[in-house]
Chains A and B, each alone.
Chain A
Amino acid sequence: MKTNILRIGSALAAMLVAAPALAQDLTFWSWRQEDRAAYEQFIETFEAANPGITVNFETFEATNYNTILSTALAGGTGPDVMMVRAYGGLENVASAGYLEPLSTETIPALADFSEASLAAESMRSDGTIYAVPFASQTQLVIYNKALFDQHGISEPESWEELEAASQKLLDAGVIPFANGTATAWQNETVTFGLGSSLMGKDFYDELMAGTADFTDERFTGALAEIADLAAKYFPDGFIGLDYPSAQQLFGSGMAGMFVGGSYEIATFKNMNPDIEVGVFAAPGQTAEDEKLVGLYFDGGYAANAAGANKEAALTFLNYLASQEFGQAFADTLSNISTVPGVTFQDPLLAEVNELNQSSIPYLMLAHFRYGEPSGSVLIQGEMQKLFAGETTPEAIGEALTTGLAAWYEPFQN
Chain B
Amino acid sequence: MREGPPSSSARAKRIFMPQLRMTGRGLWITVLIVPPLAFVALFIVYPIISAFAYAFFDWQGLRRGAFVGLENFHTVLFVEPYRSWTLNAFKNNVLVFFALMVLQNGLGFVLAYALWRELPGARFHRIAVFLPVVLSTIIVAYLFKLFLHPLFGVVNISLRGLGLGELAQPWLGQSNTALWSLIVAQAWHMVGFPTLVFLAGMQRIPSEMLDAVRMETQSEWVKITKIVWPLVAPSATIVFTLLFVGAFNWFELPYIMAGLDGSPFGSTDVLGLYFYRTAFGNVSAGQQNFGLGSALAVLIFIFIALVATVITVRLRAREIQL
A residues at B contact (CB < 8 Å): 63, 66-67, 70-71, 73-74, 85, 87-89, 91-93, 95-97, 180-185, 188, 235-242, 245, 249, 369-374, 376-377, 380-382, 384-385, 388, 390, 403, 406
Contact = CB atoms under 8 A, between A and B. Distances in A.
Contact of A239 (B82, B168, B173): B173
B63 A96 contact: yes
B284 A380 contact: yes
Nearest to A370: B286
B148 interface: yes
Nearest to B168: A237
B287 interface: yes
B286 A88 contact: yes
A317 to B, nearest CB: 22
B169 A92 contact: no
B132 interface: no
Q: How large is the interface on B (under 10, 10 to 19, 20 to 34, 35 or more residues)?
A: 35 or more
B151 A374 contact: no
A120 to B, nearest CB: 12
Interface string B143-156: 00100111100001
Contacts of A87: 286
Contact of B80 (A70, A96, A236, A406): A406
Given A182-B264, A184-B284, 17 more contacts: A66-B281, A66-B288, A88-B285, A88-B286, A92-B286, A92-B287, A96-B60, A237-B169, A240-B174, A241-B150, A241-B170, A242-B172, A369-B287, A372-B287, A374-B284, A376-B286, A388-B175
A104 B61 CA distance: 27
A95 B285 contact: no
B60 to A, nearest CB: 6
Nearest to A185: B284
B62 interface: yes
Given A95-B60, A239-B173, A240-B173, A182 B287 contact: no
Given A66-B288, A95-B63, A240-B148, A385 B169 contact: no
A52 B266 CA distance: 53
B150 A235 contact: yes
A225 to B, nearest CB: 21
Given A239-B174, A369-B285, A403-B81, A67 B259 contact: no
Nearest to B79: A406
B283 A63 contact: yes
Contacts of A97: 63
Contacts of B265: 380-382, 384-385
A96 B60 CA distance: 7
Interface in B230-256: none
Contacts of A236: 150-151
Contacts of B281: 66-67, 92
26 contacts: A66-B288, A71-B62, A85-B286, A88-B287, A92-B62, A95-B60, A96-B60, A96-B61, A96-B63, A182-B170, A182-B172, A182-B264, A185-B261, A185-B284, A237-B173, A239-B170, A239-B174, A240-B149, A240-B150, A369-B284, A371-B287, A372-B287, A377-B284, A380-B261, A385-B264, A388-B174
B198 interface: no
B284 A241 contact: no
A176 to B, nearest CB: 14
Contacts of B150: 180, 235-238, 240-241
B171 interface: yes
A67 B278 CA distance: 12
Contacts, number: 140
Interface string B117-157: 00000000000000000000000000001001111000010
A376 B62 contact: no
A381 B149 contact: no
B263 interface: yes
B287 A235 contact: no
Contacts of B283: 63, 185
Contacts of A369: 284-287
Contact of B151 (A73, A185, A237, A406): A237
B113 interface: no
A239 B173 CA distance: 5
Interface string B266-281: 1000000000000011
B284 A188 contact: yes
Contacts of A381: 261, 264-266
A236 B160 CA distance: 13
B61 A93 contact: yes
Given A381-B265, A384-B264, A388-B173, A376 B284 contact: yes
B170 A238 contact: yes
A184 B169 contact: no
A182 B173 contact: yes
A240 B284 CA distance: 20
Nearest to A96: B63
A380 B288 CA distance: 19
Closest 9 CB pairs of A and B: A240-B170, A237-B150, A88-B286, A240-B173, A239-B173, A237-B170, A381-B265, A369-B286, A376-B284
